[in-house]
Amino acid sequence: MRPGEGIALMVFGALGVVMVFIRFRWREKFARIGRVPPPDPAHASQFAALQDEDYDLVLRCGAKVNLLNVKSPYASLLVSRGQAELRVRGAEPIRIARAEVTGLWWVRAPFGRAFGFRTASGRLDKVTVWPPGQTESRLAELGWH
């Protein structure tokens, strides 16, 4: 074996170990992008099967769901008095029961305002919505405040 071959062999071996580690950790860390935990069984039974036209408010918006960030028009928030549904391209629809939400938290962003859903379980902690225009008053009229 020549003098440089041993070092090269150690470097390739170390890179192989690192690549195997990254492969398994990557799947574990990023497999949940765009997903949130399912609702508690107590709230899951409260969802009604609504069509798009049955919702009182339909918003095209931007959204961030557990590291998946999409801009308008690739996300939409459909709201009625009893439930809401967030549809984000590339993720499963997120259904939200009004009884599950303890409130909305609003934050100023550089290009408007964003909000998230406060829940006792913390299920929706990684969900943020950037709605258009005067959405805060329209959501308050429907009981979401």
E strand or H helix that includes residue 4: helix 3-30
Q: What is the mean pLDDT of residues 9-28?
A: 79
pLDDT of residue 31: 60
For the beta carbon of residue 106, count every other beta carbon within 10 angstroms.
Answer: 14
Query: Which carries the bigger pLDDT value, residue 88 or residue 6?
Result: 88
**Exposure of 47 by Cβ count < 10 A (0-12 exposed, 13-18 middle, 19+ buried)?**
middle
* Reported pTM: 0.74
For residues 14-26, average pLDDT: 78
pLDDT in tens, 41-82: 877 777 878 888 889 999 999 999 988 899 988 999 999 999
Beta bridge partners of 117: 104
List, for residues 87-143, the tens digit of each pLDDT value: 999 888 999 999 999 999 999 877 789 999 999 889 999 999 999 888 899 999 999
Rounded to 5°, the CA angle 61-139-53 comes to 70
The label of the residue with tokens 């557990």 reads 66
Q: 99 versus 4: which is more confidently predicted? A: 99
Q: Which two tokens stand for residue 44?
A: 């899951």
Q: What pLDDT was estimated at residue 42?
A: 76
> Is residue 28 predicted with pLDDT exceeding 60?
no
The neighbouring-strand residues paired with 58 are 78
The continuous run of DSSP H or E covering 136 comes out as: helix 135-141
CA-to-CA distance for 80 and 78, rounded, in angstroms?
7
Domain 41-141 CATH (choose: 2.30.29.30, 3.10.20.30, 2.30.30.180, 1.10.10.10): 2.30.29.30
Give yes or no for residue 12 having a pLDDT over 80: yes
Torsion of CA 16, 19, 25, 26, to 10 degrees: -160
Q: How confident is the model at residue 24 (pLDDT cuts 50, 70, 90)?
A: low
Q: What is the pLDDT of residue 29?
A: 59
